[in-house]
A and B are shown apart, each in its own frame.
Chain A
Amino acid sequence: MNSSCKNFQALIIDLQQGDPLPPKDREALERHLATCPDCRAFQQDIIQMFKEMGDETLPYLPDEFFQDMREKILHGLHESAPRRIHWARHFPNPFQSGWFSWRKIFVPALSGVCGLLLGFFIATTWTPFSPPSKHASVGTQIQKTVVQKSPNTLALVETLEDYITIDEFLDSLDDRDIQALLGELSRDLPESLLSETENGTG
């Protein structure tokens, strides 16, 4: 059996099936069958197989069966189809009706507005965290202590708020003010700051 046998087998099947072959194909098939014993055997098998298919005996069913079936079909056709619950009728999808039918426009627009509002909210409430500097923390401590401990030094507090660092604040004071301040705060200021302040002032 060679590669062309498969093509000839297809022609054999069509021929036995009763399909008319073009004269050219028929002649080529006859020439091939004269030289190929495999295809001749194939042809014999196909002839026998189709003959046996034609001889098939089918189950016998009486006319009453078909008459009964016809009545059942007509009855079945007039029976109502199985009821389906239309959930959509009871629970309409909000995205498929009314206002949301414009969702192609509204959904992107609404998303944009929400995004802008969220951005505005974050920008106005959130402050980035940064570690406080040593001087800033000391300054804060001084401010709190002054407010709590001595109403007489409120003027100094107001002055202190104008300065960024303790060095700038201290530079703005004369010796008398420093001594007065140290006298007021010596019990609450950290030791390190006191020594630093004393060193700074000489």
Chain B
Amino acid sequence: MEDSQEIRLIDLAKNGDRDAISRLVTRYEREIFYFIYRMTRDVEDAKDLTQEVLIKVFRKLGGFKGNSSFRTWLYRIATNHTLNFLSRGPQLGMKAPLSALSDPSPSVSETMEKNERSGHVARAVHRLPRQQKAIVILRAYEGLTYREIAEVLGCSVGNCKAAYHNAVIKLREILKNELLM
């Protein structure tokens, strides 16, 4: 559940307070951008989708009843919007090389090796079916609990847990088949 300050900001944002909206956007914009980037693996698509999602969130804010946390509600809209986008057609994915976009780190060779290794896993995640990909990203990368993922995807906690286990096992198989593990 969100803190009292966030609840106050949500109430103000519902009444169209620009400052409250701006502060809520600031709080979640990066998290949502990186979630969508992990789903699409395309920076330009992620930029556009993040903007669309946040506009949608604040347009629909009047319908937020507080039954789930604001963060979970935000992820639900972001997940549905991104899954709709992905279902529209084949996405090339992984268009932008990670090494070219990464923040410079102290050791170039170390960074490159890290990028290469994490890039293998990222590519394997990208090859999962859309729903499984969403579950893996929400759980393993974004750290949502099974209960929160169940609220985001509209399924039971048990189904969500089983789907996540299957997705991780499949991810391992993909990496094994490509001799990356």
Contact = CB atoms under 8 A, between A and B. Distances in A.
Query: A and B bound?
Result: yes
Given A46-B168, A49-B171, A59 B59 contact: no
Contact of A46 (B51, B164, B172): B172
B181 interface: yes
Contacts of A49: 121, 168, 171-172, 175, 181
B98 interface: yes
Interface string B122-157: 100000000000000001110000000000000000
Contacts of B30: 66
B102 interface: yes
A57 B51 contact: no
A59 B29 contact: no
Nearest to A71: B22
A66 B26 CA distance: 8
Interface string B155-171: 00000010011001101
B34 A69 contact: no
A61 B43 CA distance: 9
Interface of A is mostly: helix
Contact of A60 (B26, B51, B102, B141): B102
B115 interface: yes
Contact of A73 (B43, B55, B118): B55
A181 B164 CA distance: 109
Interface residues of A, number: 29
Contacts of B25: 69-70, 73-74
A141 B92 CA distance: 93
A55 B121 CA distance: 10
A12 to B, nearest CB: 9
Interface in A8-64: 9-10, 13, 17, 42, 45-46, 48-50, 52-53, 55-61
Interface in B64-84: none
Contacts of A58: 34, 37, 102
Contacts of B114: 55, 57
Contacts of A72: 51
A119 interface: no
A57 B111 contact: yes
B103 interface: yes
Interface of B: 18, 21-22, 25-26, 29-30, 33-34, 37, 43, 47, 50-51, 54-55, 58-59, 96, 98, 101-103, 105, 111, 114-115, 117-118, 120-122, 139-141, 161, 164-165, 168-169, 171-172, 175-176, 181
**What are the nearest 3 A-B pairs in CB distance?**
A59-B101, A60-B103, A56-B118
